[in-house]
Structure 1
Amino acid sequence: MTVTSTDAQRRLHVEYAEALEADAETSGEQCNDLVEAADYWHFAGEHEREERALRAAAEVDDDNNVLHGPAAFAKFLLIHGRRAEAEERFAQLLREGSNCEWAYVTASIAYQLVDAPQEALRWLNVGVNRFVPSLDVELEKGDAGSELLRQRSLLRRELGLPNDGFDDLLDRLTDHGRQIGEQIREIRRHDETERLAVLYWPPAEFAELQRGRPSWYPGTTHLEHRREVQRALRQHLAPAVVTGSIGALVDFAASRGIPPGERSAREEFAAEAARRGLATAWPPGRNDACWCGSDRKYKKCCGASGFV
């Protein structure tokens, strides 16, 4: 039987989902792990297991997580045609409120997916008013409320609405973040001790990039990506390899005030990860596991003769 790339990707999604669910038992971040696992079940087409993970996330959520289990479960219900159940849960969230910014972002995304932009905007307005108490608040990129402002501004622009005070606040934050980013980049250009690193995307993350952000690596397969990384590693005198995460890169770019799609954002993300000790030194020993995470020996994988 011939295994297609879709079959291979599905198996990877299942493996990631199962690993996250196993990790949820001991990680101390059960809600976050279960919501992320549900995403992989979704990509694998396993919607019953997706629902099971989200239902569990909603039950264990203590409103002290990065992701929000009840909102993620309500979103699942809404986009699967179970509107009455979804809106009952969203109504409860609206009554009780949440200290999690992503509760309101998730609710907004859910209504955008069912073509209800005005309801989506209402959720963003509720969230912004909760997390951004005034237009004079001292807010930095990455602070709670900044993503709500960004999502709200994008949706208002799509709806053809004129800028208001919150949109102007976001513009000021973006300009400030860009200025800080320029200062940081200038400092780094003069820092001769900055450690070099190459960014590598594992198969599941790369597949998601090609679906959602194809302009980042146009027309590139994952095998070609691995070869490009291996070439780049060989060209550097003291390189390291950083395993990429879309969410981490987006958060990093937002904190620096630069678009995540810019190549400089990916380079700075990798350099920062290496500076913080979150990179794998290269080269590995020939009998060590390969840097790409395949569990094969380096000499039989990316280090094999003729691989690049």
Structure 2
Amino acid sequence: MNDAPAADAISTPYSAFLKELGREPSADECRTWAAEHPDTAEEPRALSDAGWYTAREGRHEDALVLFHRAAEFASEFARDARVGIVDQLLVLERAPQADAAQRALRDELDAQPAGFSDLRVFDDMVEVLCEHGQHERALAWCQAGLDRIAQSEATGSPHDEAEVEQYRHGMLLDRGFLRDQLGIPLDEDDLAAESEANAELAAFRAMAHEMRDSLLDDDGEAFDGLVLRWAPADFPAVRERWPEQTAHYGDDHAAYTARIQREARGYDEAGATHVYVITATLADFDAYTQRTGHDPADAKTRRSYSEWHHATHPEHELSWPPARNGACWCDSGRKYKKCCGTPANN
């Protein structure tokens, strides 16, 4: 259901395979990769991915087999596969087996020392149970995840502050939603998270309407949304070249990536027929301005460059949004739903 942060933070053979592929893999490709890399640390990761893609094709029995294979490994990815087992058992309406699998997973997690490594499992279980309408159990997992964050912080466990805050924010939003669905009064933290989300949503919708007004022609015809994204290696130089765009680009690459995600969503909500994220380099941009004679300092030139790039180099763009279980557009190597597609980023 998601890739482990530890695996995504560094280049691994499987993440390299996904990046080189340049698109979402098929179930068969993931299964083949696993078969070609037996007894490796990432074999269960590939098997788990194959399980999710197989499930999406509606082959739930086959997906269940793949998840069981991945869960047999003594690996961090085994718990991800066990989330998949719970999901497929619920899809197949095998409630007693699903309940047993869920309890076993929770017991195992509760027996672990406080730490942040399993937050993704708590988060995934909330999602799975919500999708199957099991709001009370989803709320229990959500609260357990928030408790795990508090316990881990109290023990001083090493962690990525931004990533943990992302999980906390997402779980608070989920908890507020679930409490509301179950008729449980919201506490101050729930209300604060809800207020922040509403404010962000209002600002986002205003941006979307501005995009629509500026892009639709006089006939109101459909349009494609083109989001120009500078290659990560060029980001420092981009900020130096256009300092007036600091507010747009943000203080660091993480903030810039979040901005790109919001911009893509803005085009989508504004009614774009398709949304594409175009990855460009300054070298290619400079070559374009030299050929065309356009002013490289003019913001309109970046727009015309995007349109030219879209028409001539479709291989360097990605359709947005990716599949929820597909690789994220930002090249992190993580799944979209656990990277730029998380509730906290949307």
Which of the five TM-score ranges fits, normalised by the shorter chain? Answer: 0.5 to 0.7
Q: Counterparts in 2 of 1:150-161, with a 5 A limit?
A: 150-157=170-177, 159-160=179-180, 161=185
1:233 lines up with 2:309 in the alignment: yes
Q: Counterparts in 2 of 1:177-192, with a 5 A limit?
A: 190-192=239-241
Identity among equivalent positions (%) equals 12
Give CA deviations for 1:172-219 in whole Å, capped at 9, x if unaligned: 9xx9xxxxxxxx9x977532399xxxxxxxxxxxxxx99xx9648743
1:104 lines up with 2:180 in the alignment: no
- CA 1:91 to 1:102, structure 2 compared with 1: closer, same or farther past 3 Å? same
Q: 2:290 matched to which residue of 1?
A: none
Moved over 6 A (4+): 134-139, 169-172
Greater displacement, 158-167 / 107-116:
158-167
Q: Which amino acid aligns with 2:29?
A: A
Q: Which amino acid aligns with 1:102?
A: R
Q: TM-score, normalised by structure 2?
A: 0.47
1:116 lines up with 2:192 in the alignment: no
- CA 1:141 to 1:188, structure 2 compared with 1: closer, same or farther past 3 Å? farther
Give the superposition deviation at 1:29: 1.6
For the residue of structure 2 that corresponds to 1:78, the secondary structure is helix
- CA 1:15 to 1:135, structure 2 compared with 1: closer, same or farther past 3 Å? closer
Give the superposition deviation at 1:83: 0.9
Greater displacement, 52-61 / 80-89:
52-61
Q: 2:27 matched to which residue of 1?
A: 17
Distance 2:129 2:50 in 1: 22
1:31 lines up with 2:44 in the alignment: yes
Give the superposition deviation at 1:231: 4.5
Q: 2:73 matched to which residue of 1?
A: 60
Asked whether the 8 Å contact 1:74–1:90 carries over to 2, the reply is yes
Give the superposition deviation at 1:77: 0.7
Give the superposition deviation at 1:242: 5.6
Distance 2:174 2:273 in 1: 28
Q: Which amino acid aligns with 2:104?
A: Q
Q: 2:57 matched to which residue of 1?
A: 44
- CA 1:90 to 1:229, structure 2 compared with 1: closer, same or farther past 3 Å? farther
**Matched pairs, number:** 212
Q: Which amino acid aligns with 1:83?
A: A
CA RMSD of aligned residues (A): 4.9
Distance 1:235 1:89 in 2: 50
Q: Which amino acid aligns with 1:220?
A: H
Asked whether the 8 Å contact 2:143–2:175 carries over to 1, the reply is no
Asked whether the 8 Å contact 1:68–1:103 carries over to 2, the reply is yes
1:147 lines up with 2:160 in the alignment: no
Give the superposition deviation at 1:141: 2.4
1:81 lines up with 2:93 in the alignment: yes
Asked whether the 8 Å contact 1:32–1:67 carries over to 2, the reply is no
1:90 lines up with 2:102 in the alignment: yes
Give the superposition deviation at 1:18: 0.6
Asked whether the 8 Å contact 2:31–2:50 carries over to 1, the reply is yes
Report 1 or 2 for greater relative contact order, CA contacts < 8 Å, sequence distance ≥ 6: 2
Distance 2:271 2:305 in 1: 12
Stretches of structure 1 that go unaligned for 5 or more consecutive residues are: 1-12, 176-183, 195-208, 223-227, 261-308
Greater per-residue helix proportion: 2
Q: TM-score, normalised by structure 1?
A: 0.52
